[in-house]
Amino acid sequence: MAKNSYLKSLLVLLLISGSLFGYQQPASSNSETILTQVTQENKSQSLEIEQIKTAYNKFKGEKTKFIGQLKKAATDQASRLSTKSDKLSKELNNLQKELKNFREQELTKLQGEKKKKAEEIINKIDAHLKEMSEKVIDPLKNGLTKDKVEIVQKQLDFFVTQNIPAKYYGVFGPKTNEQINKFLTDKQTELDKEIKALNEITNGTPEKTIEQISEELNALKKDNQIFKIIFLISSVFATGLIIFTFDKNRRMSKNIGRGLNKKHQEALSHLYNELKKDLDNLQRQQNKSNKEIKQLEETVISTKQTLVNHIKETDKKISENIKNEKQEIDYDKGKKQQVNQPILSNAIEVSETKQSASDRRLGKSQAVILEKKRRGNYLVYTEENCEHLIPSENLSINEYNYKTLEALFECLNYNPNYTTHFQIVQPAIVNSVSSGKTWELIERGVLQF
């Protein structure tokens, strides 16, 4: 009887051990906080800042398209006719309207230092957009006309630093394309920074990334594992300590004898019931925590899938836009011309430099550089105070030199299987960069095969 009573007491004491060391499970509110932050920070932002971000993303998309059109127009005269910034200008105006709405409606809700910083950011964004509009976007709304291209070239002020003669003002080529691209890209970098700063001020903290959510999920799982281990260790340790104490007291106490008196039995029974309730609550908390972890995992998976779908949809739209922008090249055959022989009497034989050819093979977006060379494949001559480039009679087109030819001229109807003869539709334009020893391509010419 005493043995059974002793074992029953040990069972009660085992239940007690889990609560003796005062360890508390990490608050279940941790996972609730994570889920709340994910949903609130990503979905409950102010309508005004979301509208700004949407308008800005449209502006960036149209800017990327325009940069692509300029790159093509720099070497393809047919594309020049349809290249203009009217759509980009429209998206810029929409973005400016959203900024104005934000200034009038949302800015008034901020107080103190936050309001001051937000106003400074809005002013910077306005300044960047105004500069982009005045220097590039607005002048080219109706196309790459000579007078408008000249305005952009003077606004960007690169002719002096690049040592380009003033006679090339109004000519749109690789160098002008490069400078416009650099200007718009640098401005976009500044706008990205300001839009991000504005978002952080109005929403408190930046939006959480997938990586941050995953890290918090792993930390929550780790906390649960640590809790289980500590609970088990503390239970075993406490049980051993209590058994030792109980056994010692049992031997020393004559009043307890071989069993527990009725008063002690009732106290232990009450304690047993209370501890059973605590353990039930603990189990429910553990189950709730596991459920929250599962919900967070589902949130991560759902967010990743949404991003994947968005990327696929964007790629599809870009592919469709590129396909729609392809145009057939149609030249007026009446414009074909040959260079007068007397002009060529003072022509200089040139070929592409090794460094230029190497840079082009590596995909570097730099203008072709030519150097004076005996029996070169091309001729440089001057006509009407402008330096032109045409193929030399020495040029025999093959698979090795065609890439250079294509970099200097648009090759219409070229077929490597049977094409050998061509007519010069338009000479290329070059510019001397080192006293008649090297030349830089300004504008590609056109050859008709």
One-character DSSP codes across 130-165:
HHHIIIIITTTTT---HHHHHHHHHHHT-TTTTT--
Query: Per-residue pLDDT averaged across 95-115, rounded?
Result: 86
Six token digits for residue 344: 């060529």
Burial category of 401 from C-beta neighbours within 10 Å (exposed 0-12, middle 13-18, buried 19 and up): middle
Query: Per-residue pLDDT averaged across 172-176, rounded?
Result: 86
Dist CA 108 CA 31 (whole Å)? 34
Tell me: pLDDT of 134 over 90: yes
| Main-chain phi, psi angles of 395, to 5 degrees | -70, 120
With CA atoms as reference, report the closest residue to 448 among 330, 341, 340.
330
How does DSSP assign 358-393, residue by residue?
A: HHHHTT-----EEEE-TT-SEEEEEETTEEEEEE-T
pLDDT at 112: 85
Confidence band for 408, pLDDT divided at 50, 70 and 90 = very high
Confidence band for 43, pLDDT divided at 50, 70 and 90 = very low
Six token digits for residue 380: 């440089």
Looking only at the bridges linking them, the beta strands covering 438-443 and 445-448 are unpaired
pLDDT at 293: 77
Least confident of 19-28, 144-153, 253-262: 19-28
Per-residue model confidence as pLDDT tens digits over 54-84: 899 999 999 999 988 888 888 777 777 789 9
Dist CA 124 CA 198 (whole Å)? 11
**Vertex 165 angle, CA 162 and 169, to 5°:** 95
Name the range with the highest mean pLDDT among 226-240, 257-271, 327-341, 345-359: 345-359
Dist CA 181 CA 186 (whole Å)? 8
Query: Per-residue pLDDT averaged across 122-139, rounded?
Result: 93
Tell me: pLDDT of 31 over 50: no
Residue-averaged pLDDT of the chain: 75
Question: Domain 45-203, what fold?
Answer: Four Helix Bundle (Hemerythrin (Met), subunit A) (1.20.120)
- CB 34 within 8 Å of CB 220: yes
Tell me: pLDDT of 116 over 70: yes
pLDDT at 333: 33
Dist CA 413 CA 448 (whole Å)? 7
Tell me: pLDDT of 21 over 60: no
> Where along the chain do its domains lie?
2-31+210-325, 45-203, 337-448
Chain center to CA of 310: 13
pLDDT at 110: 82
Residues 6+ apart with CB under 8 A from 167: 385, 386
pLDDT at 223: 62
- CB 107 within 8 Å of CB 119: yes
Confidence band for 187, pLDDT divided at 50, 70 and 90 = very high
Tell me: pLDDT of 330 over 50: no
Dist CA 221 CA 218 (whole Å)? 5
